[in-house]
Amino acid sequence: MADFSAFQGRACPDWYAEPQFGVFIHWGIFSLPAYAPAGRSITALFETDYDTAFVDGPYAEWYDNALRDPASPTSAHHRQHYGDAPYADFRAPFEAAAQAFDAGAWADLFAAAGARYVVFVTKHHDGFCLWPTDVANPWRPGWNSRRDFVGELAEAVRARGMRFGLYYSGGLDWTAHPRLIRNLGEMFAAVPTDDAYRAYAVAQVKELIDRYKPSVLWNDIAWPNAEDLPDLFAYYYDAVPDGVINDRWMGTSVLFEGLRDPAACDAFNSMVKARIAEQGVHAPSAPPPHCDFRTVEYGSGAHLAGQKWESTRGLGLAFGYNAAEPTGDYMTGADIAALFAEVKRDGGNLLLNVGPRADGSIPDIQSKALLEFARLATGPA
């Protein structure tokens, strides 16, 4: 059993413990097709259409997954606009468009919005890395950018007095395990648990720590095996003594592998649906063996008062840019201010996501909302 005793009683560092505003950024190959079916939040889908929430949902950054279901709205959109082209074909036009990326412009906007920290997605579930990694992908060689987008943004953010953090998708990598995910049971069944992926993920996270010294280490979904984590956490804290780690590191490999049995997956999903019906989508859950803060996605964290926690969501209903998203689904500056006040009241941080276009430009509806929020937060000049 993994031993987390070395971190017992570790206090959340002062810089993060104070309720504050941060900016999340989801940008990658998925920003090129920029599509997901609009109109229903992921929270609402878990309540009404749980079994297909991840293929019918608004998360444009899950485009590659939704393509695996030929009946999904994304597959219909893809056939109409791109025929039978594979997702990997978006790589070249994305990288061409991304040459317009301007880290300074992003950092200027986030600083003007009042952000104290910025968390950048380095590798999302499609496995594409936004830095020139030296850790070779065994399943799709060269599946990374040649330009160091991570390093450029780290430098620009820090130059403006903000902290810089990194997101890494440790629990899903569709180059290693391209399994269709429609619901939570299938999501956990898709976590790669083999030794090759474990070694790859550990090596990449250590590389990110060594190169960029992130103030926030934000893992998503899960981790292949909890046995890796005490060493990885110690490695991180040794490099960044005042760094913080989120709570999405569940490493129950027996569960992940067991859910690949259809009957076990059905039983798990039935249990989750019953819990949602009884307690809601954001029911309290037990904390992991170690984290510096808890996370809530598109929901209230009032039940986490007394613990350090972070609320995260997109300015719209997606994290990645969705060109099909109606303007009415986006938050206004007043909406952000109201949410921030609610989150701060219960001791949380608000990590609000922007979804840039493939060329790195941030849509006006997003940037204007951030600047309006800043004006409301600071009051009249």
CATH code of 322's domain: 3.20.20.80
Predicted pLDDT at 306: 83
Predicted pLDDT at 378: 80
For residue 7, is it within any domain? no
| From 75-89, 156-170, 365-379, the region with the lowest mean pLDDT | 365-379
In the predicted structure, residue 166 carries a pLDDT above the cut 50: yes
Total domains in the chain come to 1
| From 232-246, 294-308, 314-328, the region with the lowest mean pLDDT | 294-308
Q: What is the mean pLDDT of residues 343-357?
A: 96
Mean of the per-residue pLDDT values of the chain: 96
The answer to whether residues 314 and 308 touch, using CB atoms and an 8 Å cutoff, is: no
Confidence of residue 283 (pLDDT cuts 50, 70, 90): confident
For residue 43, is it within any domain? yes
Confidence of residue 39 (pLDDT cuts 50, 70, 90): confident
Does the predicted TM-score (pTM) go above 0.95? Answer: yes
For residue 321, is it within any domain? yes
Partner residues linked to 165 by β-bridges? 119, 216
Q: What is the mean pLDDT of residues 97-112?
A: 98
Range of the domain at 249: 15-376
For residue 4, is it within any domain? no
In the predicted structure, residue 14 carries a pLDDT above the cut 80: yes
In the predicted structure, residue 302 carries a pLDDT above the cut 90: no
For residue 362, is it within any domain? yes
For residue 10, is it within any domain? no
Single-letter amino acid, residue 111 = A
In the predicted structure, residue 142 carries a pLDDT above the cut 50: yes
In the predicted structure, residue 287 carries a pLDDT above the cut 70: yes
In the predicted structure, residue 74 carries a pLDDT above the cut 70: yes
In the predicted structure, residue 203 carries a pLDDT above the cut 70: yes
d(CA 10, CA 348): 18
Predicted pLDDT at 380: 52
- Interhelix angle 103-112/149-159, nearest 10 degrees: 40
For residue 2, is it within any domain? no
**What SS3 string covers the chain?**
CCCCHHHCCCCCCHHHHCCCEEEEECCCHHHCCCCCCCCCCHHHHHHHCHHHHHHHCCCHHHHHHHCCCCCCHHHHHHHHHHCCCCHHHHHHHHHHHHHHCCHHHHHHHHHHCCCCEEEEEEECCCCCECCCCCCCCCCCCCCECCCCHHHHHHHHHHHCCCEEEEEECCCCCCCCCCCCCCCHHHHHHCCCCCHHHHHHHHHHHHHHHHHHCCCEEEECCCCCCHHHHHHHHHHHHHHCCCCEECCCCCCCHHHHHHCCCHHHHHHHHHHHHHHHHHHCCCCCCCCCCCCCCEEEECCCCHHHCCCCEEEEEECCCCCCCCCCCCHHHCCCHHHHHHHHHHHHHCCEEEEEEECCCCCCCCCHHHHHHHHHHHHHHHCCC
Nearest to 25 by CA among 315, 336, 339: 315
In the predicted structure, residue 381 carries a pLDDT above the cut 50: no
Q: What is the mean pLDDT of residues 134-142?
A: 97
In the predicted structure, residue 44 carries a pLDDT above the cut 70: yes
The answer to whether residues 125 and 60 touch, using CB atoms and an 8 Å cutoff, is: no
Q: What is the mean pLDDT of residues 260-271?
A: 98
Please compute Rg for the chain using Cα positions.
20
| % of the chain with per-residue pLDDT over 70 | 99
The answer to whether residues 251 and 295 touch, using CB atoms and an 8 Å cutoff, is: no
In the predicted structure, residue 379 carries a pLDDT above the cut 70: no
For residue 220, is it within any domain? yes
Q: What is the mean pLDDT of residues 305-329?
A: 95
Q: What is the mean pLDDT of residues 33-42?
A: 94
CB atoms under 10 Å from CB of 253, counted, come to 19
Nearest to 199 by CA among 139, 120, 289: 139
